[in-house]
């Protein structure tokens, strides 16, 4: 899985509405022009109700699609070409169209394996038919951890992604259906069909790494005793828009999820810049959503990205936007720009390693940005870059969107590393109930296996261009953060 440099993404109490609220009837009205319908993020001032903003949306010829009064954010749609100007005023802090701000989920092709014959379950992950191909689970000591706990069903992990197949034999018993929903378009749809995958099996693969059942079928997850909830934020065209991300964070927070996995990004630019007039409202809305979820007890874990970028140092982004709708432009990345959600405060950021526990050639990095590392696969290191060795990727659950059949297959990327860290966090929370997000993040880091920086310029794939990297730091460093997660250490 290639996540690209751009990774994903991203509590205010509502003030009482007083008698002086400006209502739609009090606003000036005029004949409104019509054009293509667009979606908008509309921000109320921090700490204030969205009531005034909602009135302004209606008066400007818009419709409120979702009202997230918890964080002062509205998702609106309008055909008025001048909507952004018309809606501005008292009660509206900022507004931005999200047209062109959707980013494609860069999902690598799934390499499927033959359906394994079911075996009698042993209660041991090593007894699963395909466990012998799960080098990643052995590398982070999952079998040892499972002798202590496989996880608690009271722990629910939100998988903010492209949906989870509810019929997969390794996942059907693992999904918290009552907590699953689609957030496409920024509004919630709890129908089972809505949160199942349609055009991508990315979320199904991620979910299997976290919690595939020990049932004598297929593979084993890091934490098969916990539950996963499908929070679908990637649409059928393979894009995630900011309004879907905001909806996803809030849905997880308000429905009892203690951990979320975020293996995606929400902006077609390398980083989201607070000093950009169009990006700032998106940045603010996502930050509010992340803070709200943290205050509700959610630990958000995000992938570091797959462009071998040093996130600690600023650079010129020459590959954005990546959505195909605008000309690619050179842009200097400054301190006002963040890679969200990985660089948002309190989010645990995960880089990827391969079977040798060295940084995967594609994984982005950065001292002070990467918190931990985890297996994401590296199909190129054995042959200096070419050809690839598919079995050095990560094996997990899949869903063939063309044939509508479930299966198992390989993917690689920091998208695959993130769910390993999520699974370990879920085991830790199961062993230590009630641990708050900050403490859980600290525990995940303190129980990781420290990995030293490679010396000199690191380039495991010299036959490929553009993958040199230099690691900085000591026991905690830019490639691996505090080290590779260890499933056994947090629970023993």
Q: How far apart are CA 295 and CA 299, in angstroms?
A: 10
Sign of CA pseudo-dihedral 453, 458, 460, 461? positive
Phi/psi region, residue 327 (left: phi>0; alpha: psi -120 to 50; beta: rest), is beta
Q: How far apart are CA 142 and CA 128, in angstroms?
A: 13
Q: Does the annotation count 415 as an active-site position?
A: yes
DSSP string, 396-449: EEEEETTTTEEEEEEE-SHHHHHHHHHHHHHHHHHHSTT--HHHHHHHHHHTSB
Alpha helices (H) in 48-170, listed in sequence order: 51-59, 83-87, 135-139, 142-146
Lookup: tokens for 478: 């830019």
Q: Does the annotation count 378 as an active-site position?
A: no
Active-site position among 55, 107, 136, 161: 161
Active-site position among 107, 415, 420, 430: 415
- 321, 100 contact by CB (below 8 A): yes
Q: How far apart are CA 283 and CA 344, in angstroms?
A: 10
Active-site position among 48, 168, 202, 420: 202
Q: How far apart are CA 164 and CA 200, in angstroms?
A: 10
First to last CA, the chain: 32
Could you give the residue numbers annotated as active site?
A: 161, 202, 415
């Amino acid at each position: 899985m290639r996540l690209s440099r751009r990774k994903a993404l991203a509590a205010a109490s509502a003030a009482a509405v007083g008698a002086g609220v400006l209502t739609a009837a009090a606003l000036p009205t005029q004949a409104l022009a019509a054009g293509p319908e667009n979606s908008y993020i509309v921000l109320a001032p921090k700490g204030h109700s969205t009531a005034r903003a909602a009135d302004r949306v209606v008066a400007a010829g818009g419709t409120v699609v979702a009202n997230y009064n918890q964080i002062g954010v509205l998702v609106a749609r309008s055909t008025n070409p001048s909507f952004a100007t018309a809606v501005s005023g008292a009660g509206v802090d900022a507004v931005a169209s999200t047209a062109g701000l959707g980013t494609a989920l860069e999902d690598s092709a799934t390499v499927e394996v033959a359906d394994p014959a079911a075996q009698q379950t042993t209660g041991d992950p090593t007894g699963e038919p395909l466990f012998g191909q799960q080098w990643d689970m052995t590398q982070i000591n999952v079998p040892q951890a499972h002798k202590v706990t496989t996880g608690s069903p009271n722990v629910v992990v939100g998988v903010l992604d492209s949906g989870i197949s509810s019929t997969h034999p390794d996942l059907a018993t693992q999904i918290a259906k009552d907590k699953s929903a689609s957030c496409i378009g920024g509004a919630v749809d709890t129908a089972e069909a809505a949160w199942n995958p349609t055009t991508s099996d990315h979320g199904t693969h991620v979910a299997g790494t976290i919690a595939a059942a020990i049932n004598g079928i297929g593979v084993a997850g890091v934490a098969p005793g916990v539950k996963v909830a499908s929070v679908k934020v990637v649409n059928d065209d393979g894009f995630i828009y900011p309004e879907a991300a905001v909806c996803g964070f809030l849905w997880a927070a308000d429905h009892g999820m203690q951990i979320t996995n975020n293996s995606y990004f929400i902006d077609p630019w390398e980083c989201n810049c607070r000093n950009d007039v169009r990006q700032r409202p998106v940045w603010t809305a996502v930050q509010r959503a992340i803070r709200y979820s943290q205050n509700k007890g959610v630990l958000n874990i995000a992938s570091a990205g797959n462009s071998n970028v040093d996130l600690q140092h600023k650079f010129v982004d020459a590959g954005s936007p990546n959505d195909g709708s605008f000309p690619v432009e050179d842009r200097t990345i400054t301190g006002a720009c963040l890679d969200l959600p990985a660089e948002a405060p309190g989010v645990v950021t995960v880089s990827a390693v391969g079977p040798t526990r060295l940084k995967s050639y594609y994984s982005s990095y950065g001292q002070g940005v990467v918190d931990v590392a985890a297996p994401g696969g590296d199909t190129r290191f054995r042959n200096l870059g070419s050809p690839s060795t598919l079995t050095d990727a990560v094996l997990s659950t899949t869903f063939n969107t063309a044939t509508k059949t479930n299966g198992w297959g390989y993917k690689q990327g920091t998208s695959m590393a993130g769910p390993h860290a999520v699974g370990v966090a879920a085991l830790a929370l199961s062993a230590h109930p009630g641990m708050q997000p900050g403490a859980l993040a600290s525990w995940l880091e303190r129980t990781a296996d420290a990995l030293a920086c490679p010396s000199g310029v690191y380039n495991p794939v010299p036959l490929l261009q553009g993958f040199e990297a230099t690691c900085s730091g000591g026991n905690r460093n830019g490639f691996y953060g505090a080290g590779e997660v260890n499933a056994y250490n947090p629970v023993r």
